[in-house]
Amino acid sequence: MDEATVGWKKARWDHIQSNLSPFLAQCGYQESDIYWVPISGLTGANIVEKVSDSICSWYSGPTLLEILDNMPIEPRNAEAPLRIPILDKMKDSNRTVVFGKVEQGTVRLGDRLAVAPHNSPCQVLTITNDKQQSVEYGRPGDNVMLKISYLDEEQVFKGDVLCPRDQLMPVS
């Protein structure tokens, strides 16, 4: 919006909205799913702090961060099948260690898991939380470090997902 030829003009803003709205609707978004905020990535205007009325008097809505802060958080289900996307990995005393966030389900010591999409079996030997404390389980939302057996570090990749062997993650 702060580009020299645009200069925070409402006409340009209306043009952007009218051209993007049909595309977003075609992608499946409802009007209630969409928030429109004029921002400047270069100056940060309307990202954290509201832009001055002298620059953009036609917009009186919230900043981008205010919108994000007020969005509802979807509940995480501790009873659902376990899903832990692997964010990183390393080798520790001949064992593979993986890092991830428990997105749903609960991981416990001794759990017999598989690494999707190739469904290689593994078992949880240790669980360490984000405070570097050994714990017996990890719940949805917890960042965990898992030492696992039966897999070499070369068999695990960032983006793979840990899931129970008897409730494998669907792969398309």
CATH number, domain of 116, equals 2.40.30.10
- Residue 4 in domain: no
> For 88, left (φ over 0), alpha (ψ -120 to 50), or beta?
beta
Question: How many Å apart are CA 127 and CA 108, to the nearest integer?
Answer: 8
> pLDDT tens for residues 9-37?
999 999 999 999 999 999 999 999 899 99
Number of folded domains in the chain? 2
Residues 116 and 44 in one domain: no
Q: Which amino acid is at 94?
A: N
Q: 69 exposed, middle or buried (CB, 10 Å; 0-12, 13-18, 19+)?
A: exposed
90 and 157 co-located in one domain: yes
Higher model confidence: residue 142 or residue 92?
A: 142
Is the pLDDT confidence value at 172 over 80? no
d(CA 157, CA 88): 8
Provide the domain limits for residue 153.
84-164
The 3-state DSSP class for residue 45 equals strand
Tell me, yes or no, whether 26 lies in a domain: yes
Residues 50 and 15 in one domain: yes
pTM score above 0.75: no
Q: Report yes or no on 169 lying in a domain.
A: no
